[in-house]
């Protein structure tokens, strides 16, 4: 079971892992966008990790969404905040997240982020990573969940490397984006990796 405390500890791990990956993410983003994704992501998780989370796990997830909004108004930050918000709504009033519900939470985050970002699966964005993770987790045994999620996120990033970006600023690069890792998918991989204690 995941409590607000577990969540805080995970946020701290993600904050330090994405901080370490910040340069890598900024340079991946610099090839297709404005080159600040590493900062957006690491700052967002640092702020979330520094936030005192309430015991109600729904309200804790809301506090994380707000932390993201506070420090990063970029579209990636807003999308991650949207994902946390979708999960927050489903968990409001509980003090623990049942791991069996995680695939459903990831899927809800994916759907809310698709609606808000007006994105589609196959556009080569973080949405593809979330979709792959949600589907992979659906059949995963509880103790294998983190490894399964990491593998799905890594496969997605590699699989889309050979495809063009179809959304946002990266779309302008068209065919030239083929061969490049999508920075948003790469960032998601680094986030999920950090969950492995």
Q: How far is the CB of 47 from other proteins (least distance, A)?
A: 12
Alpha-carbon distance of 190 to 43, in angstroms, equals 14
Q: Quote the tokens at residue 134.
A: 């949600």
Q: Which of 4, 22, 40, 78 binds other proteins (CB under 8 A)?
A: 78
Residue 30: count of CB within 10 angstroms of its CB: 14
Q: How far is the CB of 106 from other proteins (least distance, A)?
A: 18
- Part of the chain binding other proteins (CB under 8 A), chosen from 65-73, 138-146, 148-156, 168-176: 65-73
Query: Interface with other proteins includes 88 (CB under 8 A)?
Result: yes
Query: Interface with other proteins includes 50 (CB under 8 A)?
Result: no
Query: Interface with other proteins includes 116 (CB under 8 A)?
Result: yes
Query: Interface with other proteins includes 44 (CB under 8 A)?
Result: no
Query: Interface with other proteins includes 94 (CB under 8 A)?
Result: no
Q: Which of 89, 120, 169, 196 binds other proteins (CB under 8 A)?
A: 89
The contacts of residue 172 (CB under 8 Å, 6+ apart) are none
Query: Interface with other proteins includes 69 (CB under 8 A)?
Result: yes
Q: How far is the CB of 170 from other proteins (least distance, A)?
A: 17
- Part of the chain binding other proteins (CB under 8 A), chosen from 11-19, 70-78, 119-127, 178-186: 70-78
User: For residue 44, what are the CA distances in angstroms to 12, 31, 65, 85, 121?
Assistant: 11, 22, 9, 14, 25
- Part of the chain binding other proteins (CB under 8 A), chosen from 26-34, 44-52, 71-79, 155-163: 71-79
Could you give the angle at the alpha carbon of 159 between the alpha carbons of 174 and 113, nearest 5°? 75
Query: Interface with other proteins includes 169 (CB under 8 A)?
Result: no
Strands (E) in 44-150, as ranges, are: none
Q: Which residues of 135-157 are buried (b: 16+ CB within 10 A; e: fewer)?
A: ebbeebeeeebbebbbbbbbebb
Q: Give 3-state DSSP helix, strand, coil % of the chain, rounded to 5.
A: 75, 0, 25
Query: Interface with other proteins includes 186 (CB under 8 A)?
Result: no
Residues in the site for other proteins, rule: CB under 8 A? 58-59, 62, 65-66, 69-70, 73, 75, 78, 81-82, 85, 88-89, 92, 116
């Amino acid at each position: 079971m995941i409590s607000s405390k577990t969540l805080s500890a995970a946020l701290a791990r993600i904050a330090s892992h994405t901080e370490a990956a910040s340069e890598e993410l900024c340079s991946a983003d610099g090839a297709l966008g404005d080159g600040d994704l590493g900062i957006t992501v690491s700052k967002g998780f640092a702020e979330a990790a520094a936030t005192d989370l309430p015991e109600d796990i729904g309200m804790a997830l809301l506090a994380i969404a707000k932390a993201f909004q506070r420090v990063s108004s970029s579209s990636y930050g807003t999308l991650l905040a949207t994902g946390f918000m979708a999960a927050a709504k489903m968990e409001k009033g509980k003090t623990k997240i049942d791991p069996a519900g995680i695939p459903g939470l990831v899927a809800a985050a994916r759907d809310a982020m698709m609606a808000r970002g007006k994105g589609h699966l196959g556009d080569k964005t973080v949405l593809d990573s979330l979709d792959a993770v949600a589907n992979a987790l659906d059949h995963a045994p509880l103790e294998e969940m983190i490894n399964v999620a990491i593998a799905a996120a890594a496969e997605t990033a590699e699989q889309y490397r050979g495809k063009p970006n179809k959304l946002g600023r990266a779309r302008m690069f068209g065919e030239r984006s083929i061969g490049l890792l999508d920075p948003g998918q790469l960032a998601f991989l680094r986030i999920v990796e950090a969950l492995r204690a």
